[in-house]
Structure formats: structure tokens, C-alpha cells
Amino acid sequence: MALTIEQPGLLTTVQDQGRIGYYNVGIPQGGAMDQESAQAANKLVGNTAAEAVLECTYMGPSFTVDAPTTIAVTGADIPVLLNGTEQSAWTRIELAEGDAVKFGVLRGGARFYLAVRGGVDVPEVLGSRSTYAIGRLGGVDGRKLEAGDVVPVGSPVGELPSVAEIPESLRPALGGDQELRIVWGLYDHLLTDEGRRRLVEEEWKLTPVADRMGLRYEGPGVEWIQREQPFGAGQDPSNIVDAGYAVGSIQVPGGTQPIVLHRDAVSGGGYAMVGTVISADMDLLARATPGTSTRFRAVSMEEALEARRERARRIEGLWGL
Amino acid sequence: MTEQSTETMYLPTARYTWGGDEFLFVEFDEAMNLTANYLATAVAHGLEQLDLDGVVDVCPANASLLVRFDPDVLAGEDLKRRTQELEAQARTATQHTVETRIIEVPVWYQDPFTAEVSQRFREGYHQEPGGSDLDFAAKVNGLDGADEFVRRHHGSPWLVSMVGFVAGLPFLYQLVPRERQLQVPKYLSPRTDTPPLTVGHGGCFACIYSVRGAGGYQMFGVAAAPIYDPGQELPDFEDFLILFRPGDLVKFRPVDEAEYRAIQEQVEAGTWRYRQAPVTFDVEASIDDPESYNRTLLEALDGADN
């Protein structure tokens, strides 16, 4: 069983829950940027949370299948076309041998997920099937999909669930303004009080520079404390001696545009991080489109952990359907 | 301790802070120095030995340590307490040594590949668009031209003080007193392209770009053999696709075009091996008298086979 890719879409990659344990040598976590949506797709086709899916960005691929199978599409709002007829997303779709699937024009969100019953079955590299394109690792030949690729699909691992559709109440909201909760820390002491105030009280807009590595925002800028730079740290007040980067951390090179690092980010570098988006809000970033008005709201560690538990309960509810 | 020892084991207390709900960050010093790097390496090693449930990634860096953990399994405050205990042990240990190895890395300095790419990123990118990166590096270090800079670059060994940025990229810190450190500002604006295996320099750090891509470090040459081998085709990569580990020592050896080509042929044939030898790196010996200690380190390579 395989998908034959006719058109690859803008940026379609194989992703799973990520590659854990190699960050200390610069190999990023990777994995689906919107984990909750990817899990919903896996749920609908009878996979576990660990099966690899296709992450599609803005424009979808088109493909045919060489055997009967079951798919589901979740995440961003996009028409799913089966042999030219629109199907519901967030719903299980049965395919017959030779069926052709393509996608219409995106109506909201940024990334959508295609799960296939049995999971995308490219070889595991360092414990994951996720694509790390810079390092030419994982996925299909370590790169995004290209026309003519044949994407292998594994054998079904479990029964199909009784539910064939994810209820509206469990689907994420798309579009509109975003609020991202952050925990102060790391090098926030290098910002002036005014710099800190602007980051969490002013409005920021997502720029088009937003990908799997990170998302860049424009707004009023921040202010750094002027100081004599420590040896080895570089001349700009936003520079530090190169250090490990937390996934979700916010850096503001030069003080102008904050960048939130996401799952394919570089693992370290010389820009001061001033706070970190909480784990419960990382999926939100994957759904933001350029121009999205964004506020960063500072929360305590207790609030961050409570939000984490709430997200875990929501995902548990999804698997309990 | 002599007057050149701007470094001691007695750094101020480390700074503990959080990167959201999944990351603990420990800064041993704001400034780069061997002691802070040793503490990062030693505490990271201690955490790996402890093998605590819930620790996901232990990432030592130049003068800091980043630990990823799963707060559903291990409370952040518990991880912090265990890390502080390891820090105290590392500070009070009677010996500050690292069992490691020294690796010889052949470099073609002033090569045509980095020269071509640097020519595409001059105006608006570089401090001195009219000259080469090496000319600029020599000038800001008060040295007598590119050749003198290159001689200093490969004259003393380097410590891999961090691995990261992208897969397998080593940050390197030269084992010389602070006043003799080569320091060069990064490009004014990062390039969108860097040849693979470029030997670069930014601030006090050298690096070797493991893969082609964006980069802001000045470019001085190319390493002749891979340091990242995702297909694991060369014998040095049989166990793991990345060559360098934090704590490795590196001796750069200048090669000319003919030797570069010869090494490339060995890489193509799958027979290339790095010359390397095991060493015990004594941090205090290196801080106290780097010149004579470096001779001791380099002697280890003399007996090494390819």
C-alpha cells in the first residue's frame, strides 16, 4: 500500500511525535507542529498517536492510492476533494483502489494533517520518521515530498474507532487574534522594564517569515539594557555566549522582531531568549497565518502546568471517543 | 595560579532559570571561559549518569546547560535540586579532568569554495566588502596578514565547547589565554548560504559548518572530510552519524589543494579515517600553563594512526 504523489504541494513532510534525545548534538525535536490535530487524524483512522502523518502547509498535495484504504484530514480548514467531490474534514474517508485525492484553497489556519490507516511507513531514523530537511534525515529521503514520490503506508495497527467524526467541540478554533501564554525567564533580565512591558502589553503581528523553525513577529520592538558585553558574547546587547535554545523560547535579535522557536529550530545560538511559550500553546503557533494579531501574556509556572494538564485531558478525551 | 589565569574554578554561583514548563537552564558564567564550560560538561555528564526518569535531553553548551524534562514525570524543582547537587560536586572535586580524545582535522585554508560564496555576500553583509574574511580577521586581531592569522588558527588546539545549532556542528574554543584569543565579529547580516564544512569564526568561537546553509560566521577555509554522515558510510561514523562530542579536542592541520583532493578521494572510496588519540584533559593544567600543556596534548597525536 502506498500513496503516489502527483503534485507535492508547497511543503509536505512526513512527521510524527518527534525525535527525542538528540538535541544535544543539534538534531531538533521535529514532529508535527500541531500535535493535537495530527493526533485527531490518527484517531479517526485507527492508528495510535505514534504513527507518522503528512504535514501539509498552505497548499496540499495531490495523490492516488494503489489499494483500498482509509484516510482523515484535520488541522487547517481546506476542502478535501475525492475524485473531484468535496468530502468533510475531521471525518474518516474511505478510498478505493485508484482513487485520487487533492485539496482546494485554504480557508483558515496554516497546516493540515493527512493520516492514513497504518501510518506513513518510511524507515525510522534515530527513533522517528519525522523529516529533518537541513540534516537530510528521516521522512522520504530526508526532504519534503516531490512529484513522483511513492509514500509507503504500513499495515493497520488497530481496529477502526466507532466514531467517524471529531465533534466540533474538540476541533481547534482557527483565524482571529491569538494569545500566547509565556513564562518569563532565561535572559529576560537583559531587557529594560519598558522592553518587558512592550513584549507582553503591546500587539504583535505575525510576519510571513513563519515556518517549522520559528515564527517572526513585527511590532514596537523591545529595549535591551546597555551593558559591557561579557567575553565571547558578541557586540549587540541582544547577544549572549552561544547557549542551548529552549523550544518555544522567544529571542529578539537586535531588539526589533521577536522570533518564537518551533520544533525544527536550531538547537542553540547567540541570541538572548527572554521567555518561553508554554507547552500547551505550541500547537496554536502552527495554526497562525501571516498578519495574525498576537499578544504574549505572561503566566506563572503554576498556570503553565495547569494549562498543560488541561491540554492532556482534552487529548485524552479525544482518544476516548 | 599565574597572572595569565583569568579563569579559576571559583566562579560565582550558577544562575538557574526556566524555559517554559519543559526546560531548565543553568548559566555557569555570562562570559566564555574553560571553567564554566567544564562545569557544564561535568554536570551534564552527572545527569546522564543519574538517568532520572523524565529527563529528555541534556545539552551542555559553552558556558551553560539546557535540560529538557517532562514535568508530568519529574517535577522541575526536583530536577533543579539534583542539578544543584551535581554542580556542588563538580566544584569541590579534587580533580577537574575529562576523559576525551584529540582529533586532527585537515583544513584547506583560503580555498576557492568559501571565496566564491563570500564574494556573493559583500556589500551590506560584510564589514570590509573590499577584502577577504581572512584579511579582515587578521586586521581586527592586529596580526600581520592572512597567513599570520592562519598560522595562529592551527597553531594551538581547540576544545569542542558545544555541539549544536544544526546537526553535528561543533563550536570550538582555542586553548590559549584570553589575551591571545582570536576574536572576529560575525557578518553584519547573516548569509543565506555557506559551503558545507566551512571553517568559520564568530566572536571567540570557531565552528565547522556540518551542512550547507545559512550562517553569519567569517569563513576561512573548508575541512577536507565530513563531520556529519547521515548515511553512516565512513568507518568513523559506524556508531553514530555525528563525529564530534562536547569535550573533544581538535587540532587543525593545514593542507594544500593536492592533499585536499587526495582526502576527498579517500572519502569517496569510503576509506577515510580521522587521525585521533585518547587523552585526559586536565582543565586546571590547561588554564595554568596552556603552552606547555598544549605540547603534551599534541604529543598524543604523534603516535596515532589513521
Domain at B43, CATH number: 3.30.1360.40
Of the pLDDT bands very low, low, confident and very high (cuts 50, 70, 90), residue B63 is very high
CATH fold group of domain A178-319: Cyclophilin (2.40.100)
What is the per-residue pLDDT across A163-176, written as a single tens digit (0 to 9) for each?
Answer: 999 999 999 999 89
Collect all residues of chain A within an 8 Å Cβ-Cβ radius of residue B185.
234-235
What is the per-residue pLDDT across A142-153, written as a single tens digit (0 to 9) for each?
Answer: 999 999 999 999
Record: contact A248-B20, CB cut-off 8 A: yes
Report yes or no: A177 and A293 within 8 Å, Cβ to Cβ: yes
Averaged over A67-73, what is the pLDDT? 98
The answer to whether residues B187 and B223 belong to one domain is yes
For residue B186, give the DSSP letter: P
**Closest CB from A24, A231, A276 relative to B59:** A24
The answer to whether residues B37 and B117 belong to one domain is no
The answer to whether residues B205 and B220 belong to one domain is yes
What is the per-residue pLDDT across A290-315, written as a single tens digit (0 to 9) for each?
Answer: 999 999 999 999 999 999 999 999 99
The answer to whether residues B137 and B286 belong to one domain is yes
| First CA to last CA distance, chain B | 37
State yes or no: pLDDT of B142 exceeds 90.
yes
The answer to whether residues B126 and B198 belong to one domain is yes
> Is the residue at B149 inside a domain?
yes
> Is the residue at B2 inside a domain?
no
Report yes or no: B15 and B45 within 8 Å, Cβ to Cβ: no
Report yes or no: A214 and A294 within 8 Å, Cβ to Cβ: no
Record: contact B23-A241, CB cut-off 8 A: no
pLDDT mean across residues, chain B:
94
> Is the residue at B208 inside a domain?
yes
Of the pLDDT bands very low, low, confident and very high (cuts 50, 70, 90), residue B4 is very low
Higher pLDDT, A255 or B227: B227
Is the CB of residue B22 less than 8 Å away from at least one CB of chain A?
A: yes
Of the pLDDT bands very low, low, confident and very high (cuts 50, 70, 90), residue A264 is very high
Which pLDDT value is given to residue B305?
Answer: 65
- Residue ending a domain, among B94, B122, B137, is B94
The answer to whether residues B132 and B266 belong to one domain is yes
What is the per-residue pLDDT across A18-38, written as a single tens digit (0 to 9) for each?
Answer: 999 999 999 999 999 999 999
Record: contact A232-B204, CB cut-off 8 A: yes
Contacts of B190 (CB under 8 A, 6+ apart): B214, B215, B216
What is the per-residue pLDDT across B166-214, written as a single tens digit (0 to 9) for each?
Answer: 999 999 999 999 999 999 998 988 899 999 999 999 999 999 999 998 8
Listed by number, the residues of chain B in 150-209 with a beta carbon closer than 8 Å to a beta carbon of chain A are: 162-169, 171, 178, 185-186, 202-205
What is the per-residue pLDDT across A80-113, written as a single tens digit (0 to 9) for each?
Answer: 999 999 999 999 999 999 999 999 999 999 999 9
Of the pLDDT bands very low, low, confident and very high (cuts 50, 70, 90), residue B2 is very low
> Is the residue at B168 inside a domain?
yes
> Is the residue at B10 inside a domain?
no
Contacts of B230 (CB under 8 A, 6+ apart): A125, A135, A136, A137, A142, B167, B241
The answer to whether residues B200 and B294 belong to one domain is yes
Collect all residues of chain A within an 8 Å Cβ-Cβ radius of residue B59.
23-24, 244, 267-268
> Is the residue at B201 inside a domain?
yes
- Grid-cell match 564568530, residue found: B202
State yes or no: pLDDT of A259 exceeds 90.
yes
Q: How far is B263 from chain A (nearest CA, A)?
A: 23
**Domain ranges for chain A:** 2-170, 178-319
Collect all residues of chain B within an 8 Å Cβ-Cβ radius of residue A231.
31-33, 178, 204
The answer to whether residues B80 and B152 belong to one domain is no
**Closest CB from B64, B204, B210 relative to A243:** B64
- Residue ending a domain, among B94, B115, B138, is B94
Residues β-bridged to residue A63 = A5, A101
Which pLDDT value is given to residue B3?
Answer: 37
The answer to whether residues B137 and B217 belong to one domain is yes
Quick check: ipTM above 0.90? Answer: yes
Is the CB of residue B260 less than 8 Å away from at least one CB of chain A?
A: no
Alpha-carbon separation of residue A290 from A57, A59, A108, A176, B29 (angstroms): 13, 15, 11, 12, 38
Listed by number, the residues of chain B in 62-81 with a beta carbon closer than 8 Å to a beta carbon of chain A are: 62-66, 68, 71-72, 76
Collect all residues of chain B within an 8 Å Cβ-Cβ radius of residue A278.
20-21
- Residue ending a domain, among B94, B109, B128, is B94
Pairing of strands A178-184, A293-298: parallel
The answer to whether residues B86 and B172 belong to one domain is no
Record: contact B162-A268, CB cut-off 8 A: yes
DSSP string computed for A17-82: S---S-GGGT----S-SSHHHHHHHHHHTT--TTSBEEEEESS--EEEESS-EEEEEEEEE--EEE
State yes or no: pLDDT of B216 exceeds 80.
yes
> Is the residue at B4 inside a domain?
no
d(CA A145, CA B305): 43
Compute the Cα dihedral for A230, A234, A239, A242 and give only its sign. Answer: negative
Residue of B nearest to A231 (CA): B31
Record: contact B66-A240, CB cut-off 8 A: no
d(CA A45, CA A160): 6
> Is the residue at B218 inside a domain?
yes
Contacts of A280 (CB under 8 A, 6+ apart): A181, A304, A307, A308, A310, A311
* Number of separate domains in chain B: 2
Residue of A nearest to B58 (CA): A24
Listed by number, the residues of chain B in 106-145 with a beta carbon closer than 8 Å to a beta carbon of chain A are: none
The answer to whether residues B178 and B64 belong to one domain is no
The answer to whether residues B84 and B186 belong to one domain is no
State yes or no: pLDDT of B7 exceeds 90.
no
Record: contact B230-A134, CB cut-off 8 A: no
Collect all residues of chain B within an 8 Å Cβ-Cβ radius of residue A305.
21, 71
Report yes or no: A151 and A2 within 8 Å, Cβ to Cβ: yes
**Closest CB from B17, B165, B228 relative to A186:** B17
Domain that holds residue B72: 15-94
State yes or no: pLDDT of B9 exceeds 80.
no
Listed by number, the residues of chain A in 87-126 with a beta carbon closer than 8 Å to a beta carbon of chain B are: 125
Residue of B nearest to A271 (CA): B165
Is the CB of residue B290 less than 8 Å away from at least one CB of chain A?
A: no
